[in-house]
């Protein structure tokens, strides 16, 4: 049985003010994951 997205979760997902902070967080997170570097494994 799939988890349902609650009405509150939908409100958060669509609220532009909350999502603005999420936008900033995501940009920082993406930069930290991607631009943090990469390398070999051997």
Q: Shortest approach of other proteins to residue 25 CB, angstroms?
A: 8
Q: Shortest approach of other proteins to residue 17 CB, angstroms?
A: 10
Rounded to whole angstroms, the Cα distance separating 10 from 19 reads: 11
The C-alpha R_g of the chain, in whole angstroms, comes to 16
Taking each helix axis from N to C terminus, what angle separates 16-34 and 7-14, rounded to the nearest 10 degrees?
Answer: 80
Site string for other proteins, 1-30 (x = CB under 8 A): -xxxx---x--xxxxx--xx-xx-xxx-xx
The footprint of other proteins (CB under 8 A) covers: 2-5, 9, 12-16, 19-20, 22-23, 25-27, 29-36, 38-42
């Amino acid at each position: 049985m799939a988890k349902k997205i609650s009405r509150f979760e939908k409100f958060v997902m669509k609220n532009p003010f909350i999502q603005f902070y999420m936008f900033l967080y995501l940009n920082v997170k993406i930069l930290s994951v991607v631009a943090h570097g990469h390398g070999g494994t051997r």
